[in-house]
Amino acid sequence: MRLDTLSALNAERAARRPALIVTDPEDGDQRLVRAAEIAADPLAALLRERLRSGRSGLGEGPDGRPVFVAVHAPPVRLVVVGAVHISQALVPLAAQLGLDLTVIDPRTAFASPERFPGVRLIAEWPDKALEEVGPLDAYTAVAALTHDPKIDDPALIAALRADCAYIGALGSRKTQARRVERLEQAGFDAAVIGRIHAPIGLDIGAVSPAEIALSILAQLVATLRKGCDAAAGR
């Protein structure tokens, strides 16, 4: 890889923006395509598909020649607000999906290593905890699961301001209606608030913590895949 291409790729990685390296297997020529540039690229359809799947591989250019597309996307971070039973069920599933998981809860009785072995725990209020997580971005998912507005709302506000890829909140429709009122008072309009998946998770009739965790992650994956299309200008 040429030094200028590598430098440009490293800049995209540092900014947590997806990029693709297109290589001609016949002559070894390479070029970098940033996510914002995909729509205008002659390989747009192929690049969108590769970015959506997250998998590198061979494809065919418009002239019929083979090309290899290497996908470089930032790891998806899942920030779970609330060290609750659902979170305990969610942890092993999230690990299998390769998600970079952090659990936040100021209640130390809940956010304990005994309940979440091997998981990054931050026993602080969201305002402070999110500073440790790092800047939220389009490859960050936030799930608010405490039912406590004092804990959930600051995380949701931060996620909305950062335009996170996925935002979900536990609670009934009545709970969501009250949440909407609070967020409107905080200055958010209906379109922005509408990005919150609430009640959180796909409607699969989930009852147990494990089923709810499954519904959350299924909804998260579906949202991320659609988000890749949007990032690619589809």
Q: Which pLDDT band, with edges at 50, 70 and 90, does 227 fall under?
A: low
CA separation (Å) from 7 to 16, 35, 47, 74?
Answer: 14, 16, 21, 16
User: pLDDT for 10-54, tens place per residue?
Assistant: 999 988 889 999 999 988 899 999 989 999 999 999 999 898 888
At residue 112, the pLDDT reads 95
Closest CA to 206 of 113, 93, 78: 93
Q: Which CATH superfamily is domain 77-230 in?
A: NAD(P)-binding Rossmann-like Domain (3.40.50.720)
Q: Where are the domains of the chain?
A: 3-72, 77-230
DSSP 50: H
User: pLDDT for 101-153, tens place per residue?
Assistant: 999 999 999 999 999 999 999 999 999 999 999 889 989 999 999 999 999 99
At residue 230, the pLDDT reads 42
Q: Which pLDDT band, with edges at 50, 70 and 90, does 61 fall under?
A: confident
Averaged confidence pLDDT in the chain: 92
Cis ω for the linkage preceding 154 (within 30 of 0): no
